[in-house]
Amino acid sequence: MPIARGLKRKNKTLLKKKPRNAKDIPKQKKLRKNDDEEISSSEDDFSGDGGHYSEHSEEEYEEPQVTVSEQAKKLLDDLSKVPARAEESESESDEDDVDIDTIARPLKRPEQLREEIAHKKMADLVFINDETVFRYRPHRFSPICIAVSSTGNFVVSCSKDGTVVKFDVKLHKKCAQLSSDKKDPKFHKGLVTCVAISPDDKYLVTGGADQIIKVWNFETLAHIKDFAGHRGAITSLVFRHNFSGQLFSASKDRSIKAWSLDEMGFVDTMYGHQDIIPQLDMLSRNRVLSCGAQDRTVRLFKIAEESHLVFNGYADAISIDTIAMINEDHFVSGSIDG
């Protein structure tokens, strides 16, 4: 029995002993309570009514993927049917044909569709009928270049016969004519290759194979000034829109020159093309667009920045011979291969 008493005393002493940090006990209890509460709250998130787990249907996640895949399959099927239907169209009517554009239309961005529609509307506005068309033959040989006044009342054309003719559109008659004369120093000594009219209808400018640019009074066709400086035949002349005093010329010497009609003198020369420059074009911005024939490039010269952008033609292009500005941000070019 003394052994049992000794054990009881030891247990009593153990119970009476306090831990060194007795104050930490309530904190630990609080932490345990918080832990229990956090666990219970997380369990509530996963449990629905009645403590059961709420499962989401797989169809909710599969529906977007299924619809996209179905649309892709449908598009591929439609595209695969196009060649077969094209062969059948020889025997069937045109109504049964499938247009690839209608199939590809849903894949295009809204911005692309808006641009296409805008350009189509602009083209649809142009309507030419026989009542608004008239013909006249002021030259013996084929004309080379034509310029229209800003009012649209006059047309000036130059021809391979060496003549420059001013024609009144409203009256349907020839107003004046300039003919090449080797004895007359005021006129070109060779073929007249290009003409241009200033935006204010004040000046008529002609360029010739004699490497000279001549400025004329548009109303009377009186000679005003000669611009010399090119080392090849003049190929193109263009005025800056809304700026009658700024003239740009291109030549077979592969250069572009800027002229001032306000001061009647030379301004600057721009280089970059590796072949002759058949044509120039520009709008209101101080930028000149040019094409370089067999160098297969279109260049946009920024006059103020003294730099230019280069647009290379496609790989099989032979030469780029014509250009036209659609607006300040878009242009079109034409090649000899059609």
Residue 142 belongs to a domain with what CATH number? 2.130.10.10
Domain tally for the chain? 1
| CB neighbour burial string for 52-90, b if at least 16 within 10 angstroms, e if fewer | eeeeeeeeeeeeeeeeeeeeeeeeeeeeeeeeeeeeeee
- The amino acid that residue 179 corresponds to is S
Strand, coil or helix: 44: helix
Tell me which residue of 264, 249, 182, 253 sits closest to 213, measured CA to CA: 249
* DSSP result, 220-254: T--EEEEEE--SS-EEEEEEETTEEEEEEEEETTS
Which residues, 6 or more positions from 307, have their beta carbon under 8 angstroms from its beta carbon? 301
Question: Is-contact 262 305, C-beta < 8 A?
Answer: no
Residues whose CB is less than 8 angstroms from the CB of residue 258 and which lie 6 or more positions away in sequence, other chains included: 246, 247, 248, 266, 267, 268, 269, 270, 303
In a domain, 46, yes or no: no
pLDDT of residue 82: 57
What is the identity of the amino acid at 296? R
Residue type, 308: H
Q: Which of 333, 302, 300, 303 is nearest to 318 (CA)?
A: 333
37 within some domain:
no
* Main-chain phi, psi angles of 278, to 5 degrees: -70, -30
Percent helix, percent strand, percent coil in the chain, to nearest 5: 30, 35, 35
Rounded to whole angstroms, the Cα distance separating 259 from 215 reads 11
Q: How far apart are CA 12 and CA 69, in angstroms?
A: 77
Over residues 107-148, the pLDDT tens digits come to 555 655 555 555 556 666 777 777 778 888 888 889 999 999
Q: Which residue in 302, 288, 287, 298 sits closest to 321, CA to CA?
A: 298
User: Do 248 and 242 meet the contact criterion of CB atoms below 8 Å apart?
Assistant: no
Regions of the chain with pLDDT less than 70:
1-66, 68, 79-124, 338
The residue whose two tokens read 């059961």 is 52
Burial of residue 132 (number of CB atoms within 10 Å: 0-12, 13-18, 19+): exposed
In a domain, 125, yes or no: no
In a domain, 317, yes or no: yes
pLDDT at residue 77 in the model: 78
**Do the domain assignments include residue 6?**
no
Closest CA to 250 of 288, 306, 216, 201: 288
The helix/strand/coil state of 201 is: coil
Domain limits at 208? 138-335
Distance CA(301)–CA(240), nearest Å, equals 13
Work out whether the CA dihedral 159, 188, 197, 239 comes out positive or negative.
positive
| Domain annotation covers residue 238 | yes
pLDDT value of residue 240: 94
pLDDT at position 239, please? 95
Which residues make Cβ contacts (< 8 Å) with residue 304, sequence separation at least 6? 286
In a domain, residue 40? The reply is no
What count of other Cβ atoms lies within 10 Å of the Cβ of residue 230?
Answer: 22
CA distance 91 to 78: 20
User: Is 109 contained in some domain?
Assistant: no
